[in-house]
Amino acid sequence: MKGWQTLQIKENFEIKNLTSFKCGGTVKKVFYPESIDEFVQVLQEEPSAQVFGNLSNTLVSSDGFDGSLILTTHLNKITIENDTVVAECGVKGPKLSQEVCDKGLSGLEFMIAFPGSIGGEVFMNAGAHGQSVSDTLVEAVCYDKENGLVTLLKEQLEFSYRTSVCQKRDLVVLSAKFKLIPAEKDCITAKMQENLNFRKAKQPSLVLPNCGSVFRNPQGDSAGRLLESVGAKTFSFGDAKVWENHANFIINGKNGTSLDILELIFKMYSEVKKKYNIELRPEMRFLGDKNNREVEICKLLKIK
């Protein structure tokens, strides 16, 4: 890479252990930019590179990816000035939640229990426990392949349930600015602990390879309720199975492949559609080279 002798690049990289699902093959080339300038140059020189954060909401192909991947995990600077917080896209949600708590700032307590990073959380307008990214976000710096770096105000991001304009326009979120609310640190800490307790009781530990909720909740209903009513807790495929404690989570075994997981997701989707004529929409993204069956399933489920 011209002029970037310090840029970290890995070739023929086994990515499996970086993913929440503990699934994935060999990626031809992985870039780790450490600044927004480095990110822009990498994408300009490798325009077909795929951009991801910490792969917490991503199913990676067991066949790997014969292309270039940019991981934003090293873009992890946080700046806090009074009640305004700027975080780069690679900052992990729990870290930012704890940092602002230490400053007596409220509004990001929900992030304490999220494994994802800020870029992905803004991209999908992540939320839980009555809070969401769109509540406190002021603006985001994004990369647009046609226009380069652009700064979008909250209203321009077109936030709605689990979505933003970033998905429609294929924008990469590089940093986000939040305006938070000063509050008693004890109250913030108590709310964070409540959120952690909820996750522990209702969601599988990250020690168990999983990618969080499989499907978004349809309007006015719960994906977990619909799946449980069709017996999804008993479903499995290959070495992947639905978690016995909540029907909207998949646990991957030691030898589970991306196809095992996709087949299981399709079975869950199909049973709900057959009984209720409701088409559940998966939350995760797919990265890598698909075989013919994976192409077919991703097309049917609208997984990008």
Q: Are strands 58-60 and 285-287 parallel, antiparallel or unpaired?
A: parallel
Distances (CA, A) of 88 to 92, 103, 128, 252: 9, 18, 21, 30
CB atoms within 10 A of CB 254: 7
Q: How many C-alpha atoms does 151 have within 13 Å on its Cβ side?
A: 6
Tokens 């349930």 belong to which residue?
A: 161
With beta carbons less than 8 A apart as the criterion, state whether 120 and 91 touch: no
Distances (CA, A) of 302 to 115, 148, 245, 286: 24, 27, 27, 10
Task: Please classify residue 236 by burial: count the beta carbons closer than 10 Å to its beta carbon, then call 0-12 exposed, 13-18 middle and 19+ buried.
Answer: middle
Catalytic residues, by residue number, are: 162, 213, 283
3-state secondary structure of 229: helix
The DSSP symbol for 147 reads T
φ, ψ for residue 50, nearest 5 deg? -90, 140
> With the C-alpha atoms ordered 18, 24, 30, 33, is the resulting torsion angle positive or negative?
negative
Contacts of 225 (CB under 8 A, 6+ apart): none
- 186 Cα distance to chain centroid: 29
